[in-house]
Chains A and B, each alone.
Chain A
């Protein structure tokens, strides 16, 4: 039973398109995140939600819009995709205490052509 699942695993799309990545966790965690891993493998947080409320927005272009319909789901919608958006996007979840590990989804490799 997958703890944090993301769909799709791979996404290839043309510049200018709009796409969404879905994330669901079955761990009962309060906090969910989106991280971006670039081509050099650097991982950086994009957004963090706690109980459906946005608590971190790390200077991400407003073409990226997270949506959390409930605390088990955090989706990422991207408008007007650009070549530079190509990356691996990870969803993660944790309890809202810093001593607990973050559980990561398997990542979505987005390629913009």
Chain B
């Protein structure tokens, strides 16, 4: 069965600094997608970035980028120039070809200090 692990329950970053959130996963599938979702205090789940497993190039969305290491099954999220609005719970998620569902990690609570 596929699993997703986020080993950092909480992280803190100063405004304008860079922070990296870690995620590892386990799967025997070769075709899958990985996602980072953000959940602010409003509770809404918001997609931050996605990565296709067959693409070697790391995905980037403005200040958000990933470091995807397929062999190591690692998928970390880098947030550059952190802003107060980035404070939220961040979830790493896996979606494989065998089952039509997202499998989530346990989340990392990010605090942004002014």
A68 interface residue (CB < 8 Å to B): no
Q: Is the pair A44, B104 in contact by a Cβ cutoff of 8 Å?
A: yes
Q: Is the interface of A mostly helix, strand, loop or mixed?
A: strand
Q: Is the pair B100, A31 in contact by a Cβ cutoff of 8 Å?
A: yes
Number of A-B contacts (CB under 8 A): 54
Question: Which residue of the partner chain, among B47, B99, B104, contacts A101 with CB atoms under 8 Å?
Answer: B47
Residue numbers in A under 8 Å from B99 (CB-CB): 56
CB neighbors of B among A14-51 (8 A): 31, 33, 35, 40-45, 48, 50
Chain A contact residues, CB within 8 Å of chain B: 31, 33, 35, 40-45, 48, 50, 55-56, 88, 90, 92, 96, 98-99, 101-102, 104, 106-107, 109
Q: Which residue from chain B places its CB closest to the CB of A96 in the assembled complex?
A: B100
Question: Which residue of the partner chain, among A40, A102, A109, contacts B102 with CB atoms under 8 Å?
Answer: A102
Question: Which residue of the partner chain, among B43, B52, B102, B106, contacts A99 with CB atoms under 8 Å?
Answer: B52
Q: Which of A88, A101, A102 has the most CB of B within 10 A?
A: A101
CB neighbors of A among B27-60 (8 A): 32-33, 35, 39, 42-45, 47, 50, 52
* Known pairs A98-B33, A101-B35, A101-B50; A107 contacts B96 (CB<8 A): no
